[in-house]
Amino acid sequence: MGTLAAVFGHPDEFYPLLKLKREVTDVEKLKQIPSKPHWVFCYTILHKVSHKFSLVIQHLDTDLRDAVCIFYLVLRALDTVGGTKDDKVLMDQFHHVSTAFLELEKGYQKVIEDITQKMGAGMAKFICKKVETIDDYNEYCHYVAGLVGLGLSKLFHASGKEDMAPEHLSSSMGVFLQKANIIRDYLEDIRETPKPRMFWPQEIWNKYVNKLEDLQYEENSVKAVECLNDMVTNALTHVEDCFKYMSGLRDPVIFRFCAIPQVMDIGTLALCYNNIEVFRGAVKMRRDLYGAFYDFSCMLKSKINKNDPNATKTLNQINAIQKVCMDSGVIVFSLYWPSFSRISTPTECKFSYGYTRKFTVRK
């Protein structure tokens, strides 16, 4: 689990990007990409190392988009040890990134230089230092992800589109994403060769098992889930900061750029919570596509006016959609609880891990 991937690399798991992908195929938008060879390389390699992030940034205005592209590639290179074939190409031809960097406005250059230096120092600190306490955990996540959030805030401010957000709020935006992905990627990290990657803080897991790797064993299932829920609860402490940060954004494009990963990762936490599959195999948001359709169909249902001439037809179609979703057995959580506000009978929701939740909502 690369640290940059934790912040930028997973919006492909969440359904709003289906819309983004369609929008950025617009020819006029793609024509805005600079034609100089070094810029062509930067956007081409960005597309290869993080396809979905390359889609997300297309919505940003050109100057800010270029700065965020270079910011990502510089930090990706800083974070790359080994890596993929495309990461090797990035490192071998990094001079293109350097050339593009020098064409950015000075304000953008200063931000990228500052964050890169701070992140490098922080990562170096944790080469030998273990994540033992919750303070260690918070510090590690700040260095590898909180600084990304801070850097983006500074780039937004340098563009003139946003006020400078408080540093602790900017950091929380990145830290929340990092913690969600550390939780989700437990099994991948613990099985890393030649040496496991251990990001879960000992102060938490030591309450449940003697060794972090013991959480994956079936005989420790009960304790593993308790530890997992402890980790999720810790991650949730950053959500209020994220709300405060996003509520201060003025530019709707920047808001969407920031909000999509946050929504995706609260979904990741909902999917992981109380879920033993975190220790058994991959947990992916794509499994909750039915849940997304169910939520939005509930929103539609709550808005139907019985006097509308097509009300019955619409309601029947929505009921058919909801039946397909419920029969899938993979609905995990509800994004839009207020959309249930007009359901007057107890409703039963199936969860994909053998649990059933009944709830009654007000009329």
- Residues marked active site are found at 140, 184, 197, 257
Place of tokens 């619409």: 314
End-to-end CA separation in angstroms for the chain: 45
State the amino acid at position 158 in one-letter form.
A
Closest CA to 158 of 75, 254, 293, 247: 254
Q: Check if the beta carbon of residue 338 is closer than 8 Å to that of residue 298.
A: no
Whether 227 and 204 have beta carbons less than 8 Å apart is answered as: yes
Residue pointed to by tokens 């390389």: 41
Residue of 316, 317, 270, 339 lying closest to 347 (CA atoms): 339
Residue 254 and residue 60 in contact, taking contact as beta carbons nearer than 8 Å:
yes
- Bridge partners for 349 per DSSP: 357
Cα radius of gyration rounded to whole Å, the chain: 22
Omega within 30 of 0 (cis) for the link into 196: no
β 347-350/356-359 pair status: antiparallel
Q: What's the distance, CA 55 to chain centroid? A: 15
Residue 347: its H or E element: strand 347-350
In whole angstroms, give the CA distance from residue 301 to residue 320. 12
What does the angle CA 13 – CA 15 – CA 21 come to, to the nearest 5 degrees?
95
Residue with tokens 């960005």: 46
CA gap 88, 49 in Å, rounded: 10
Tokens of 76: 């990706």
Distance CA 294, CA 325 (A): 6
